[in-house]
Structure 1
């Protein structure tokens, strides 16, 4: 194993650390690609349920139309200013669209947990107010990478 691999493993988050980190962070950056191959990155609110990242997206956004055409995304959630404070998670994979488009609040068993998590996280409410402009995108990652540079200051 080379030095870069040892360094990478040392700063990688455990599953529990990753789950806690994603629960506390508020904004992610979602990367999509157009049919012509042009990339697009946009900030968005999200929730993590321990298995999937749930994005509540405007259905009339460039992100939505690009994901409809090419349902693959990369998402980064990160924070920190100084080198030793940097933390983050990158999730990559195919997306799926869940529930009606746009979301009006019809019963959907798959959305019970993400809507409860989202409404509590962003609005301090027990249920999500639907504006009939957004709908749900689920990213169940095929690849996850994480880093926590605060671990570098601890014991080797």
Structure 2
């Protein structure tokens, strides 16, 4: 399958990514354990216009890796419309998460982690790098955020 859409400029890619962060409910979460064991799971998420918020049990491999490693790689889409986000993680216990975040997460996803018990912790991800491309022709210009700063329009 070949993409016949015109190549997107930087501004369009940024708008497209921000739109997907607002609209999509699940994101692929990639972490690694201390010994390097990789884990890849889908989790529901909330985008608050600055951070992504994830919630999972602190005792499962992904929760432990997010808490211990402090870094994560996230992915949206399929192989013909890719968004990769690298970020720094801050952990919040169930009693520490801002109420407005928990409420917005529940409204967006239909799941209320606050009612799921104390094992569920929140992970705020500050994006530090974002890449976005539709197939090979868009590989050039795919870096639309570096060092936490969105790229300017090309």
The normalised TM-score by structure 2 is 0.70
Gap change, CA 1:77 and 1:12, over 3 Å in 2 = farther
68-77 or 8-17, which moves further after superposition?
A: 8-17
- 1:4 matched to which residue of 2? none
SS at match of 1:142: strand
Distance in 1 (alpha carbons) for counterparts of 2:20 and 2:83 = 9
Which one of the candidate residues 108, 112, 117 is aligned to 2:99?
A: 112
Distance in 2 (alpha carbons) for counterparts of 1:71 and 1:28 = 18
Deviation, 1:35, is 0.7
Structure 1: give runs of 5+ residues left out of the alignment. Answer: 1-6
- 1:25 matched to which residue of 2? 24
Deviation, 1:77, is 1.3
Deviation, 1:13, is 4.5
Distance in 2 (alpha carbons) for counterparts of 1:46 and 1:113 = 14
Deviation, 1:9, is 5.7
Distance in 1 (alpha carbons) for counterparts of 2:98 and 2:15 = 23
Gap change, CA 1:119 and 1:92, over 3 Å in 2 = same
Distance in 1 (alpha carbons) for counterparts of 2:128 and 2:115 = 30
Distance in 2 (alpha carbons) for counterparts of 1:29 and 1:142 = 17
Q: Conserved in 2, the CA contact under 8 Å of 1:8 and 1:147?
A: no
Gap change, CA 1:14 and 1:66, over 3 Å in 2 = same
Superposition RMSD in Å: 2.9
Deviation, 1:74, is 0.2
Q: Conserved in 2, the CA contact under 8 Å of 1:30 and 1:76?
A: yes
- Give 1 or 2 for the bigger CA radius of gyration: 1
Pairs within 5 Å for 1:71-150:
71-79=70-78, 86-98=80-92, 100=93, 103=94, 106=95, 108=96, 111-123=98-110, 129-132=114-117, 133-148=119-134
Q: Conserved in 1, the CA contact under 8 Å of 2:53 and 2:124?
A: yes
Distance in 2 (alpha carbons) for counterparts of 1:13 and 1:44 = 26
Structure 2: give runs of 5+ residues left out of the alignment. Answer: 1-5, 139-154
- 1:36 matched to which residue of 2? 35
Which structure has the highest helix share of the two? 1
Pairs within 5 Å for 1:28-67:
28-67=27-66
